[in-house]
């Protein structure tokens, strides 16, 4: 992606963390690889074991953190900081010296501590808004002063407790900050940190400032981070959220067909993603026509009106119409019968607290019976893997999204499973609704596979 510095972890944390950092440094990336450190020599020793390029050396600078958390005084922090900076520099490390809780610190003390850090050899400084207390006006004033007073670059590190991390980061960069700390999807402690994708695209598109970041990698990286951390991205999150380039309202889709810039500030391809039209109660003729064309169907005006009415009926019940739903509606209106290429005969699940979840599936593919089995992290994962393996002969099917909702209450609740599957760049959505979550998942997956095969 072109990120300049990667804080890969905190080497003091555990042996597992150190193994991870070593693995990252061994990749030989162009980025500077950094380890978070407290103002303690042993933290630096652990970082050195991981062969990192730099350390992010964090010292508490507010009296609250110094007295309550560290249980020391300002002079002790000053002495500890300079000692560790000198030790790290003596061992060949780049040092970024950071003031934790700087936004609640005495500014004169902070500036004098930063100067001590520079005198001890710090290469960069960092101002941490640890609990998100800054506002853009104050940020601009602080960084105008720091950038002129300090002889080394000063960076900004914001948290999003009040939802201002991106705004404050942009304000700091405008006022002279030489670096910004950000995370993919804005993940981080509590409400998270500054969102990399938002800052990068604001700088690129709204300020016409080239960052060197390969923006086409942003969405793919966002999805990867979400999957590996298990932290979902809000569906309405800017740029990388599921709805960011998704259009439903008929008037919007009508405008998009004339010129995509009518309702999109930038093309989704810039972020490595695609535009999506969804159907619901706000759908219009334009969106239904476009969706039908993607299914390879042409309809006359009366057929279009009937299909649109049925789509709106589903939408009035608070649901989006999946690709499989639209296909079924269109087939009914157009009196089309489609033979499913993939049919489920049966499946069996073995699962328990002492058993690896295992699924066997028996399906027919174009009339030929196929039996497969697989294991997974749970029974649903196992059966979906088994189905994908069984249909591998007709294509590489990828599960892009999986979502489940309980429609009714109780342990016997009716559940709705929604999935998105892809094959060769084509993505379709489908749903299944049963009282058994596994059966609902199988139903949704089989429906989507048949949609991909048509």
pLDDT at 84: 98
For residues 246-259, one letter each, b for 16 or more C-beta atoms within 10 angstroms of the residue's C-beta and e for the rest, the string is bbbbbebbbbbeee
The top-scoring range by mean pLDDT among 126-140, 294-308, 376-390 is 126-140
CA distance 399 to 309: 31
Query: 90: Cβ–Cβ under 8 A, 6 or more apart, which residues?
Result: none
| 130-173 pLDDT, tens digit each | 999 999 999 999 999 999 999 999 999 999 999 999 999 999 99
CA distance 38 to 100: 10
Please state whether beta strands 179-181 and 124-129 pair in parallel, antiparallel, or not at all (unpaired).
Answer: unpaired
CA distance 408 to 50: 52
pLDDT at 99: 98
Domain 5-229 has CATH 2.40.50.140: no
Domain 342-453 has CATH 3.40.50.1980: no
pLDDT at 410: 64
Three-state DSSP string of 371-422: EEEEECCCHHHHHHHHHHHHCHHHCCCEEEEEEEEECCCCCCCCEEEEEEEE
Give the three-class secondary structure for 434.
strand
Contact 385, 349 (CB under 8 A): no
pLDDT at 361: 95
pLDDT at 259: 72
403 pLDDT above the threshold of 90: no
CA distance 184 to 197: 7
Please state whether beta strands 368-375 and 5-9 pair in parallel, antiparallel, or not at all (unpaired).
Answer: unpaired
pLDDT at 408: 60
Angle ∠(389,352,391) on CA atoms, nearest 5: 10
249 pLDDT above the threshold of 80: no
CA distance 180 to 165: 11
CA distance 453 to 447: 10
CA distance 256 to 276: 11
pLDDT band at residue 285 using 50, 70 and 90 as cut-offs: confident
pLDDT band at residue 226 using 50, 70 and 90 as cut-offs: very high
Residue 135, number of CB atoms within 10 A of its CB:
14
pLDDT at 406: 73
pLDDT at 49: 97
Query: Hey, where are the domains in the chain?
Result: 5-229, 246-334, 342-453
Q: Which residue has the higher pLDDT, 447 or 282?
A: 447
| 412-433 pLDDT, tens digit each | 667 878 898 988 878 888 888 7
| 7-47 pLDDT, tens digit each | 999 999 999 999 999 999 999 999 999 999 999 999 999 99
411 pLDDT above the threshold of 70: no
Mean pLDDT over the full length of the chain: 90
CA distance 397 to 49: 42
Distance of CA 246 to the CA centre of its chain: 17
pLDDT at 324: 73
CA distance 49 to 153: 27
Long-range contacts of 169-173, Cβ-Cβ distance < 8 Å, separation of 24 or more: 169/194, 169/199, 170/136, 170/199, 170/202, 170/203, 170/207, 171/136, 171/137, 171/139, 171/140, 171/143, 172/127, 172/139, 172/140, 172/142, 172/143, 173/203
């Amino acid at each position: 992606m072109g990120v300049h510095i990667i804080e890969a972890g905190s080497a003091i944390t555990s042996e597992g963390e150190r193994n991870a950092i070593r693995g990252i440094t061994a990749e030989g990336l162009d980025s500077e690889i950094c380890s978070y450190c407290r103002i303690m020599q042993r933290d630096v020793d652990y970082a050195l074991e991981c062969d990192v390029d730099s350390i992010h050396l964090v010292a508490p600078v507010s009296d609250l953190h110094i007295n309550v958390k560290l249980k020391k005084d300002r002079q002790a922090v000053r002495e500890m900081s300079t000692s560790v900076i000198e030790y790290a520099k003596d061992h060949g490390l780049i040092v970024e010296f950071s003031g934790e809780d700087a936004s609640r610190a005495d500014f004169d003390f902070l500036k004098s501590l930063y100067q001590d850090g520079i005198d001890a050899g710090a290469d960069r400084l960092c101002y941490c808004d640890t609990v998100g207390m800054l506002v853009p006006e104050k940020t601009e004033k602080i960084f105008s002063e720091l950038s002129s007073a300090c002889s080394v670059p000063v960076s900004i590190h914001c948290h999003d407790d009040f939802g201002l991390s991106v705004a404050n980061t942009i304000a700091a960069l405008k006022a002279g900050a030489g670096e910004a700390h950000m995370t993919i999807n804005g993940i981080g402690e509590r409400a998270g940190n500054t969102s990399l994708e938002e800052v990068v695209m604001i700088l690129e598109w709204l300020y016409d400032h080239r960052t060197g970041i390969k923006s086409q990698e942003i969405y793919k990286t966002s999805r990867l981070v979400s999957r590996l951390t298990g932290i979902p991205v809000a569906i309405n999150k800017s740029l990388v959220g599921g709805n960011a380039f998704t259009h439903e309202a008929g008037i919007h889709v009508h405008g998009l067909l004339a010129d995509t810039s009518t309702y999109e500030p930038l093309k989704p391809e810039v972020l490595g993603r695609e535009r999506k039209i969804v159907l619901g109660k706000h759908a219009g003729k334009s969106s239904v026509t476009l969706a039908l064309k993607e299914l390879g169907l042409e309809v006359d005006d009366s057929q279009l009106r009937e299909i649109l009415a049925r789509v709106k009926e589903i939408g009035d019940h608070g649901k989006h119409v999946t690709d499989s739903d639209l296909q079924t509606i269109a087939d009914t209106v157009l009196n089309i019968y489609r033979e499913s290429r993939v049919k489920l005969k049966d499946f069996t699940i073995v699962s328990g607290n002492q058993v690896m979840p295992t699924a066997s599936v028996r399906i027919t593919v174009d009339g030929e019976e196929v039996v497969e089995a697989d294991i997974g992290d749970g029974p649903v994962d196992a059966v979906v893997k088994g189905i994908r393996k069984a249909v591998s002969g007709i294509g590489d099917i990828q599960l892009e999204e999986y979502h489940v909702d309980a429609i009714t209450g109780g342990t016997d609740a009716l559940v709705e499973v929604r999935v998105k599957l892809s094959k060769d760049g084509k993505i379709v959505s489908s749903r299944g609704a049963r009282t058994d979550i596994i059966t609902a998942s199988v139903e949704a997956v089989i429906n989507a596979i048949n949609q991909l095969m048509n």
